[in-house]
Structure 1
Amino acid sequence: MSKDNEEPHHIVAIEAIHCKIPSFTLPSPHTKAIYNWTTPSELESRVKDATIIITTTIRLNAEILNPLKTPKLRLIVILASGTDCVDKDAARDRGIPVCNCPSTNIDSVSEHAIGLYFAVRRKLVDMTNSVRNVPDSLDFDTEWKSSGSLKGKLKSIDGGAPLLCSQETMGIVGFGNLGRRIRGIAVGLGMNVIIAERKGEEERAREGRVGFEEVLKRSTVLVLCLPRTPETEKLISTEEFRMMKAQTVLINVGRGGDCG
């Protein structure tokens, strides 16, 4: 960043749709360009003169980080906790720092995870649709009209009622700040919570951790709170699904690539 006093910064926010880009106070003059969204075809022309790029999910790969494409670039800021949208090796090779915002969305994502659990376990979407989708003809029988109840739709895969929170065992895979926050909420709801050891580390499980495969077998709710890395890609696949109980609810608030 030794060039800070030699030329003004040009700050380019390529993805301002997610949150408002603040005003900046810098010791030297600067310009900024703010775009609500940037398509792949627009990216190169928008960042070619940038000294600072602000992104959230739009990928900055090795091609766009080539000095020929972004010759003035000196800093990348990610308005998110994850950093997988940036080719960090390419940035490191050029000495470009990559800054993110860790733990900024812990509360919202953890509450979203619990909301997803209730939506799936209690089949809220299906139940809502059943209530709202009333046929125009009064002569057409619906489950509600014929039986006076929708409890048949609410039944679990084993034919019983959906599990109560006090009957659930939540397995958490990924025990960083997000996983810890989800555990706190789940315990408050009366769930039994177990924390998974890293896959393949069953024989060296740390205190308070349970072997990865055992967590899959015991959990009635499985929550993934993982970043996307080569180690976590397709962490849950066919073999892992076969280990789970039939009524297990899988909630992934990490990255889509963790399941495959």
Structure 2
Amino acid sequence: MAPKVLISDKLSEAAVQIFRDRGIDVDFMPDLGKDKEALLAAIPKYDGLAIRSATKATEKIINAADNLKVIGRAGIGTDNIDKDAASKKGIIVMNTPFGNMTTTAEHAIAMMFAVARQIPEASASTHAGKWEKSKFMGVELTGKTLGVIGAGNIGGIVCDRAKGLKMKVLAFDPFLSEEKADKMGVTKIELDELFEKADFITLHVPKTEQTANMITAERLAQMKKGVRIINCARGGLVDEDALAAALKSGHVAGAAFDVFAVEPATESPLFNLPNVVVTPHLGAATTEAQENVALQVADQMANYLLTGAVENALNTPSITAEEAKVMGPWVELASHLGNFTGQMTDEPIKAINILYDGTVAQMNLEALNCAVVAGIMKKANPDVNVVSAPVIAKDKGIQISTTNQDKTGAFDGYIKVTVVTDKRERSVAGTVFSDGKPRFIQIKGINIDAEIGQNMLYTTNEDVPGIIGLLGNAMGKNGVNIANFTLGRSAVGGEAIALLYIDHPIPDDVIAALNTTGMFKQVRPLAFDVK
């Protein structure tokens, strides 16, 4: 059955057609997102929800979305999506951070020109029939120092454009290396020094606990007199009351804001001040950008629903389409390893340790970790997935650690999962053979070679004669067909294990009969989601 997607905001017809061309059943209802009750009633039947900013994916909406797997935001900001609720429900939230980079960067440059030459006020004056040439004395950008706060995708484009304007560019970004700064042709600098030296300051950071209100009255006082400030990033990065006071005092010569602490902004301390340029969040508002983000979100959602590729996700590791092809069997193995240890563990789990060896150690380990944790959690919560599992583990206080190492054994690559409780540690390892099939290769430190089936039986016992016959006889007498039978032992006469791949679930009375023989330390039926 084809996945079903709801588009509840205005997206381009080309984006709608992408879903249809990929074989996805799509309902295009661009005004539905404005009606909360109608959206609440409609959402349960959809696998995907494509939105812009009008639709509010609240906790109530998300909790009603029984089949929803992905929410795609055509744009960068996801303030209209309750990401915590989505994560707990196992719903991927993705955005399109690259579709409007150029457009937003160009808007910041345009705003810088506008405030440098007082263009909006001069235009309004001239429209009014005045000719106030001497009133609107501006400044050149050439030779001025631009301070860029946040030199990522959009900030990097602003840096490039500013260099073309012959400006000296200073950049503050904790994630910007000296090598990258040299390559960009900018000077990496600390924030305090940037405030002291910049003639123009432009912000290009997300709003987080660290960046909220990052420009305060104290920060404004650090800046050189006559500075001009541009914010086309997110509202709430600048204390608007403090900036208004600095503008009125003349310490700040001008400001250009496209974003505000409260939007829609029908009032602000910055409104109606001299040499303050304001626009209604137009950073991404170009024909090209709107088309780009719509097409991008449609492609991303279709890729996830059809292939499992995760791109630009905000609440789970991303896996490109190419990675998905290579990693698919390893993700399946990671899930099986987690599932094995989860089914074998009855006590509360304190820690999960995951070892990656060889070729698999070079892959997307965050995604593999999520698959392991989801596998472990399935016993307690069958509806858990790679999105919700890490959230549940964190809530339970489970410590997750990862180790990766170069090839150390007979296999090109393998994964080993160890679960730690107050009473014991339990470990299992596996690999992917050249045929693409996952295999168990070690349990409790005992080497084996076991194909993974939907229904399996795991037993432990002392290494004594008769176990194979006992198991075979019990299965045969009860009509349980054995597809594969794997044995392993620690040493002659030591601890031994058996892992049977069987065609059907084992009846409870067979498990009980095996336990009454007194030959087994443990008899455990297992079930795996085998593709």
TM-score bracket, normalised by the shorter chain, equals: 0.7 to 0.9
Please state which structure has a larger fraction of its residues in helix: 2
After superposition, the C-alpha distances for 1:141-167 in whole angstroms (9 at most, x for unaligned) are x5x3xxxx512x223xxxxxx321123
Question: Please, which of 43, 48, 68 is the counterpart of residue 47 of structure 1?
Answer: 43
After superposition, the C-alpha distances for 1:82-139 in whole angstroms (9 at most, x for unaligned) are 33432222222122112221211111111111111111111101101111102xxxxx
Question: Please, which of 224, 231, 239 is the counterpart of residue 210 of structure 2?
Answer: 231
Q: CA deviation at 1:217?
A: 1.9
> What is the match of residue 69 of structure 2?
74
What TM-score, normalized by structure 1, do the two folds share? 0.77
Q: CA deviation at 1:32?
A: 1.2
Q: Does 1:122 align with 2:117?
A: yes
Q: CA deviation at 1:27?
A: 6.7
One-letter amino acid of the counterpart of residue 129, structure 1: A
Q: Does 1:10 align with 2:4?
A: yes
Q: 1:221 to 1:37 in 2, by over 3 A?
A: farther
> What is the match of residue 248 of structure 1?
227
Q: 1:209 to 1:32 in 2, by over 3 A?
A: same
Equivalent positions of 1:130-209 (< 5 A) are: 130-134=125-129, 144=131, 149-151=132-134, 153-155=135-137, 162-198=138-174, 207=178, 208-209=187-188
Query: Do the aligned residues in 2 keep the contact of 1:84 with 1:229 (CA within 8 Å)?
Result: no
Query: Do the aligned residues in 1 keep the contact of 2:7 with 2:29 (CA within 8 Å)?
Result: yes
**Larger mean Cα displacement after TM superposition, 185-194 or 91-100:** 91-100
**Higher Cα Rg, which structure:** 2
Residues in 2 aligned to 1:234 and 1:223: alpha-carbon distance in whole angstroms: 14
> What is the match of residue 60 of structure 2?
63
Q: 1:128 to 1:13 in 2, by over 3 A?
A: same
Q: Does 1:257 align with 2:253?
A: no
> What is the match of residue 107 of structure 1?
102
Residues in 1 aligned to 2:51 and 2:24: alpha-carbon distance in whole angstroms: 22
* Percent of paired sites with the same residue: 25
Q: CA deviation at 1:53?
A: 0.7
Q: 1:242 to 1:40 in 2, by over 3 A?
A: farther
Residues in 2 aligned to 1:9 and 1:243: alpha-carbon distance in whole angstroms: 55
Query: Do the aligned residues in 2 keep the contact of 1:106 with 1:177 (CA within 8 Å)?
Result: yes
Q: CA deviation at 1:209?
A: 2.0
Q: Does 1:218 align with 2:213?
A: no
What TM-score, normalized by structure 2, do the two folds share? 0.40
Query: Do the aligned residues in 2 keep the contact of 1:13 with 1:33 (CA within 8 Å)?
Result: yes
Question: Please, which of 67, 71, 83 is the counterpart of residue 78 of structure 2?
Answer: 83
Q: Tell me, what secondary structure is at the counterpart of 2:193?
A: helix
After superposition, the C-alpha distances for 1:171-198 in whole angstroms (9 at most, x for unaligned) are 1111111111100000000101000144
After superposition, the C-alpha distances for 1:44-80 in whole angstroms (9 at most, x for unaligned) are 23434332111122432333222xx222211111111
